[in-house]
A and B are shown apart, each in its own frame.
Chain A
Amino acid sequence: MPRMKTSVEAAIELGGLVKTYPGGASPAVAGVDLVVGRGSFFGLLGPNGAGKTTLVSMMCGLLAPDAGRVRIAGLDLAASPDEVKGRIGVVPQDLAVYPSLTPAENLEYFGSMMGLGGSRLGGRVDECLRIARLGPYAQKRAETLSGGLKRRLSLVIGLIHEPEILILDEPTVGIDPQSRLFIFDSLKAMNAAGMTIVYTSHYMEEVECLCRDIAIIDQGRIIAHGGLAEILAASGAGTVEIRAQCAPSEALLRRLGEIDGIRQVSCEGSIIRAASAQPTAAMCEMIRLMEEAGAGILSVSHGVSNLEALFISLTGRGLRE
């Protein structure tokens, strides 16, 4: 069992988590150690098949790890699954609402499943309808609601029992910008009120905008973790892009990759891209080497990268599952 550094301030602590699916060639999650602080707005990014959903499923108690442990709010998930589940709210990627029930009935049902009852349940149903602004639709069947309204319903179902930690798996898929902004505002308000939020998404700008703490997972491993500025700086997230007259030789690309401070070089036709923590210095050295090699340069650009560039630089441009 891997040693895990525990903290009273940690909302989620994952230690040495491993999960391999039957018949899987490699583990979906291959030894993940991760700590999410209390009150954090944590973003989990990863390409398709990176192990993101598996990791979140293990956090929620939906999937048992082969090895490692999960602690939520200081409680061991394996030892106290029901207590842990009572402290988290889950908003799955699927809408996960009953179409034949009304929003009020959906909230009432899931609230009952969380152990609420009586006036407290009634109060929470009303409060959630208010938060999601679903009051006018409370008695309409969910199947008749728009995609945005259903998403809002799905979100507040996760909040029905006032969880300490809210785990959202791509909660803005398939909704209009207004509903998306509404969800962002709601999440920011909840986080400001002290709720820990774990947010997984494919939309980099969402994570960039919302999350103060970000982890990128690929091939079952966390390959970057920290604050946005921190991981951009640590990962050499500056970029250089040079358009040459013709495709560079293998030897030139190799020399470019050996430049001090350059983390990765890629080539697409006659366009050379490089990632570096010091993009200006790297650009100058690249121009020098290309001129020495007699490669004509048509244009040059450089800049500090955003999360998407970092993500692509870390996980590559190749298509995933």
Chain B
Amino acid sequence: MASNLNKLIASVKKETRHLLRDREAFLLLFVMPLIFVLIISMAMRDTFREQGGVVLPVVIIDNDRDVVGPAVIEAFSSIKAFRVETAVEGNGTTEEDIKADVTAGRHKFAVIIPRGATAGANSAVQRQLRFVRGVDAAQVKVRLIADPQLRSDMRSLAAVSTGRVLQAIENRVLWERFAALAGMKITPEREKEIREILASNRPFAEVVAEDAAARAEQGDLPKPTSVQQSVPAWSLFAVFFLVIPLSVTFIKERQAGCLQRLRSMPVPVWVIMLGKAVPFFIVNQLQLILMLLAGMYIVPLLGGDRLEIGDAPVAIAMVSVAVSFAAVSYGLAVAAYCKTTEQATTFGGASIIIFGALGGIMVPKFIMPPVMQRLAVVSPMSWGLDGYLDIFVRHGSVRDILQEVAGLLVFAAAAGLIAVLRLRRTTR
């Protein structure tokens, strides 16, 4: 046993030397996934904000410059679903500018209040007070210009909310008229009181968009932010992507005759396999640490959210180790079955992409249809991602990730066994 341990140490040393001597390839193992994580985290930020019930940036153009404009701005500002980033006067800003601004994604939609909107509101109230039927609401057209990429449900939310805001303004004017007709004396104190009452006259219900299917599947669990989803997801992808260099190295070793020479020596197969696996496992761990640190410290510098990693470092370590076991074992199995580096690159790469697609790496699972969510169980990346999300988003502990860790370890054991059996068979 001691002799085999020495052989294992020698194998790890050899493989580490081999890895470190191709400096460019070694650096790429870290730099490429890091760039990937940063890009995806930033690119998906707004999409996740929409998903997570966060705010939609809205610009309001007040061409009315009377009562309605400020009232609309105030009303939108009070609704959690929106963030009124700028309210600009119509002067100097053309409609084309507004459209370009919205199309570029700087605002998800724009509300354009036309000239004479206040007069239109007063007119409508007057007609109602005189019991005139058929009030023409279309006399005042408040336009809503939406980002073409805005999802339809979000677009509906914007339209309904705008309608409610306008309705509230109309009600307010109507209420003031009723007060005047009732002959109430408006003292300064009464005026303040009325204003407070009017200020509280907001839409009776807040409109909150939600995805019924996703909530049904996942209960009332919180959804991740962009960085909470992207960092662990694409880190997992990078970890599994080591399947390609690992299997290619292994196959090259076999093609060069080194493996044959080793098998003519008193070296157990497990020593050969572990000798290759250990350095790649260490690389995996370094990758994961780097990606998590990038999510915590680099993404915020670029304007994204900070990655919150929960409060269970042991659980994070357990998931990271299990994920790496699964990836390395899978790489060895691919190496054992593929005859050429071309096969390993193609099969290994394609299978990782499929695992990624199924496992919620490319498309978050909570927006997948239920059938695809159930199918995700075949992907070890799904278990890894669930493990990380349990910790980061749901603030889970070691107990909460045991199932995912067990799944990953079973996958690792199965892939490792397949690799060992295959290697024994092909070299005996």
Q: Chain A residues in contact with chain B, CB under 8 A? A: 60-64, 81-83, 85-86, 88, 90, 92-101, 105, 108-110, 112-115, 117, 141, 157
Give the contacting residue for B264; candidates A62, A64, A93; CB below 8 A: A62
> Once bound together, how far apart are the Cα atoms of A93 and B10, in whole Å?
24
Smallest CB–CB gap between B230 and chain A, Å? 35
Q: Report yes or no: B428 in contact with A112, Cβ–Cβ below 8 A.
A: no
Q: Which residues of B contact A108 (CB under 8 A)?
A: 10
Smallest CB–CB gap between B237 and chain A, Å? 27
> Once bound together, how far apart are the Cα atoms of A108 and B14, in whole Å?
10
CB closest chain-A residue, reference B18: A100
Q: Report yes or no: B264 in contact with A85, Cβ–Cβ below 8 A.
A: yes
Q: Give 22 A-B contacts (CB < 8 Å), ordered by A residue.
A: A82-B266, A85-B265, A88-B264, A90-B265, A92-B264, A94-B257, A95-B256, A96-B256, A98-B14, A98-B253, A98-B256, A100-B18, A101-B17, A105-B14, A108-B10, A113-B11, A113-B262, A113-B265, A115-B266, A117-B6, A141-B21, A157-B261
Q: Which residues of A contact B253 (CB under 8 A)?
A: 98
Tell me whether B156 is interfacial, beta carbon within 8 Å: no
Q: Report yes or no: A96 in contact with B258, Cβ–Cβ below 8 A.
A: yes
Smallest CB–CB gap between B258 and chain A, Å? 5
> Once bound together, how far apart are the Cα atoms of A82 and B266, in whole Å?
5
Q: Which residues of B contact A92 (CB under 8 A)?
A: 257, 260-261, 264
Q: Report yes or no: A63 in contact with B428, Cβ–Cβ below 8 A.
A: yes
Q: For chain A, what secondary structure do more than half of its interface residues adopt (helix, strand, loop), or is it mixed?
A: loop
CB closest chain-B residue, reference A80: B266
Tell me whether B177 is interfacial, beta carbon within 8 Å: no
Smallest CB–CB gap between B421 and chain A, Å? 14
Knowing A85-B266, A115-B7 touch, does A101 contact B14 (C-beta < 8 A)? yes
Smallest CB–CB gap between A250 and chain B, Å? 47
CB closest chain-A residue, reference B21: A100
Q: Which residues of A contact B262 (CB under 8 A)?
A: 110, 113
> Once bound together, how far apart are the Cα atoms of A63 and B263, in whole Å?
10
Q: Report yes or no: A94 in contact with B14, Cβ–Cβ below 8 A.
A: no
Smallest CB–CB gap between A105 and chain B, Å? 7
> Once bound together, how far apart are the Cα atoms of A97 and B258, in whole Å?
6
Please encode chain B, from 1 to 24, with 1 for each CB lying within 8 Å of some chain A CB and 0 for all others.
001001100110110011001100
CB closest chain-B residue, reference A89: B264
What 9 A-B pairs are tightest by C-beta distance, nearest first? A94-B257, A96-B257, A112-B10, A82-B266, A90-B264, A96-B261, A60-B264, A85-B266, A92-B257
Q: Which residues of B contact A81 (CB under 8 A)?
A: 266
> Once bound together, how far apart are the Cα atoms of A108 and B17, in whole Å?
13
Knowing A100-B18, A117-B6 touch, does A94 contact B256 (C-beta < 8 A)? yes
Tell me whether B350 is interfacial, beta carbon within 8 Å: no
Give the contacting residue for A100; candidates B11, B22, B260, B261; CB below 8 A: B22
CB closest chain-A residue, reference B267: A113
CB closest chain-A residue, reference B8: A112
Q: Report yes or no: A86 in contact with B258, Cβ–Cβ below 8 A.
A: no
Q: Which residues of A contact B266 (CB under 8 A)?
A: 81-83, 85-86, 113-115
Q: Which residues of A contact B18 (CB under 8 A)?
A: 98, 100-101
